[in-house]
Amino acid sequence: MISFNSNIASASRSGLNSNYSKSTQSIYTSRQNTSQPDQSNILALRDRYITMIDTQAKTEEDAKILLQTLSKPNNGGLMLGGLPDLSNSDMMARHDRISAKFNIEQQTVEQEKNKLINKGLAAGKRAKSIVDDIVGLYDAQSELFKTGIGWNGQVFAFNESSTAGYQRTLAFSSDVVDVIV
């Protein structure tokens, strides 16, 4: 499991994303009993990709290196905001359901990404253009996938301490019913 506390603090200090800082501030004010931000809101992976492209793909040669990096399979799995409550069978069932759906989508996206890269290279496209196409591919994915990788700065949470992430979890696993026998 991944804890995003250090990422949140460093992103806020560095000022990489002013919208992120504003959203972090609203999280602080919306949560009455704690001074910790909701761990299910992180620095958006999309923003990190755009920054990477802007800083590391200034020349075609640099763009080729970045394309090679982005061509590698992403097997990172489902990103979480905080640790799940292992004693809560309902939350664990929701985690399993979302994780299973996410893994299927992640495999499909990896295949699509490989096809996009291969077609781009075969057509003689510039590496920077292909890298931009990868961002477009990720933009076009389902909310489940984008939330699973933190593309727009939101991830799932499987405990009630991360309010927004917990609400996303409930919405994406509405077909899970906790039945006590």
pLDDT of residue 107: 94
3-state secondary structure (DSSP) of residue 154? strand
pLDDT tens-digit map of 34-68? 445 566 778 899 999 999 999 999 999 999 999 99
Tokens describing residue 171:
């919405």
What residues have CB less than 8 Å from 164, skipping those under 6 apart? 27, 38, 40, 41, 154, 157
Alpha-carbon distance of 49 to 47, in angstroms, equals: 5
Average pLDDT on 105-110 reads 94
**Encoding tokens for residue 113?**
């990404």
* Residues 155-166 pLDDT 10s: 888 877 777 888
Distance CA 148, CA 35 (A): 25
pLDDT at 151 over 60: yes
Whether residue 31 has pLDDT greater than 90: no
Alpha-carbon separation of residue 75 from 29, 42, 125, 154 (angstroms) = 35, 19, 26, 19
Start-to-end Cα distance in the chain: 30
Q: What is the pTM of this model?
A: 0.72
**Is residue 11 very low, low, confident or very high in pLDDT (cuts 50, 70, 90)?**
very low
- What pLDDT sits at residue 126? 96
- CA–CA separation, 106 vs 146, rounded Å? 10
Which residue is associated with the tokens 């477009």? 136
As a whole number, the mean pLDDT across the chain is: 78
Measured in whole angstroms, the distance separating CA 24 from the mean position of its chain's CA atoms is: 17
**DSSP reduced 3-state for 175:** coil
Highest mean pLDDT among 15-29, 31-45, 128-142: 128-142
Position 106 pLDDT exceeds 90:
yes
Under 8 Å between Cβ of 49 and 61: no
Q: In the prediction, which pLDDT does 65 show?
A: 95
